[in-house]
Amino acid sequence: MDINKIEKELIELDNYPLDEWNPPLCEGVEFTLDEDSKWFYNGSEIKRKAMIKLFSKLVKREGDNYFVVTPSEKICLKAKGEIFSIIDYKKEDENYFFKTNTDEWVKLTSTNYIKVDMVNNHPYPKILLRDGIWGLLTRNIFYLLISEANQSGNKLYLVSDKKNFFLN
């Protein structure tokens, strides 16, 4: 499988109907993501931002597994954490928007919501981006959100899309 050939074929597509694509699994190749959301293909780091953006749009979750899916190939994606990192945010009017490490913006809504789990006694804040795929908020972004959150008793929350989203 030639990674440049896949990129060329996919750039020409207008959209990516991942639910309609069910190609066979490619054996012997894989994508991996490290804990800093750096992408690797068969052990070699992918450094081209455009290629990372493209492949990130092709991520599909099936059960507990992730795959990069094209019309003709399905490649295993092994992640040490979440697929995306949330690296920035902005508040416009009464809405919050979050920026992923692939430069996509997602509005905080009941569909794309924040969930804060506790992992090893530390908060693990993430936002649902699409179809079971989450973006982990970086620590500094999470603490900035806490500093501007509303408080009711011991609960901290953000208001976006006319809904409350709790941070604890």
67-112 pLDDT, tens digit per residue, is: 999 888 899 999 988 999 999 999 999 999 999 999 999 999 999 9
Distance between CA atoms of residues 95 and 109, nearest Å: 9
Instruction: Give the number of C-alpha atoms closer than 13 A to the C-alpha of residue 65, restricted to the C-beta side.
Output: 11
Specify the CATH number of the domain 84-166: 2.30.270.10
CATH architecture of 3-79: Roll (3.10)
In DSSP terms, 127 is beta-bridged to 114, 135
Task: List pLDDT tens digits, range 18-34.
Answer: 888 889 999 999 999 99
Collect all residues with Cβ–Cβ distance below 8 Å to 19 and sequence separation of at least 6. none
Report the predicted TM-score, pTM, of the whole model to 2 decimal places.
Answer: 0.85
Six-digit token string for 99? 């920026």
pLDDT band of residue 66 (cuts 50, 70, 90) is very high
pLDDT band of residue 41 (cuts 50, 70, 90) is very high
What are the residue ranges spanned by the domains of the chain? 3-79, 84-166
Task: List pLDDT tens digits, range 101-111.
Answer: 999 999 999 99
Six-digit token string for 107? 């509005």
Burial status of residue 7 (CB atoms within 10 A of its CB: 0-12, 13-18, 19 or more): middle
